[in-house]
Structure 1
Amino acid sequence: MQNVNMFEAKTNLSRLVEAIESGREQEVVIARNGRPVARLAPLAEKPVGQRLGIAKGKFVLPDSFDADNEAIARLFAGQAV
């Protein structure tokens, strides 16, 4: 863990972030007037959720899929079909 003052953090932010990204530092504590006030740390990896396209190849979309779009739009607008 590295401790830096506010001025040093502002001056060397890119270097500090690179140290976190590369794993050279696990966290950097930023102090103001000698008192720790903030922590710079890597973001936790988020698990990848369900992706679009997982059903690719599982069914065939008929050519007439869009054939009723106008009728459906009229129904949503409250108009008679």
Structure 2
Amino acid sequence: MSETVNVHDAKTHFSRLLDKAHAGEEIILSKAGKPYARLMPLATQPGQRQPGRLKRPGAQVDASFFDALPDAELDAWNGR
């Protein structure tokens, strides 16, 4: 649930509001009784990518996978 705070109170209690936002709470800043902005926590940064971390044990590509394609198949791919 979000808390609505007017701009004057937000300036006065900014540190407290930042702590609440960091803890996961969403704070709506209002000006003249109208919602104006949203103070919310940043999304967590994704972890470092690790190439190959999902490889299946023993999974191998057949060497014929890298052979050149026959001319007829290349023509089909190229729309000829």
TM-score, structure 1 as length reference: 0.54
Number of equivalenced pairs: 49
1:79 alignment counterpart: none
Runs (4+) of structure 1 moved beyond 6 Å?
A: none
Q: Whole-Å Cα distance in 2 between the matches of residues 36 and 43 of structure 1?
A: 20
Contact 2:26 2:40 in 1 (8 A): yes
1:7 matched to which residue of 2?
8
1:19 to partner: Cα distance: 1.3
**Residue in 1 that maps onto 2:40:** 41
Q: CA deviation at 1:34?
A: 0.5
SS at match of 2:48: coil
1:21 aligns with 2:29: no
- In structure 2, give the amino acid aligned to 1:42: P
Runs of 5+ consecutive residues of structure 1 not aligned to the other structure = 52-81
Matched letter for residue 20 of structure 1: A
SS of corresponding position for 1:42? coil
Cα deviation, residue 50, structure 1: 4.1
Q: Give aligned-pair identity as a percent.
A: 39
Could you give the per-residue CA deviations for residues 51-81 of structure 1, whole angstroms, max 9, x where no partner exists? 8xxxxxxxxxxxxxxxxxxxxxxxxxxxxxx
CA distance in 1 between partners of 2:19 and 2:28 (Å): 15
**AA partner of residue 15 (structure 1):** R
Q: CA deviation at 1:22?
A: 2.7
TM-score by length of 2: 0.55
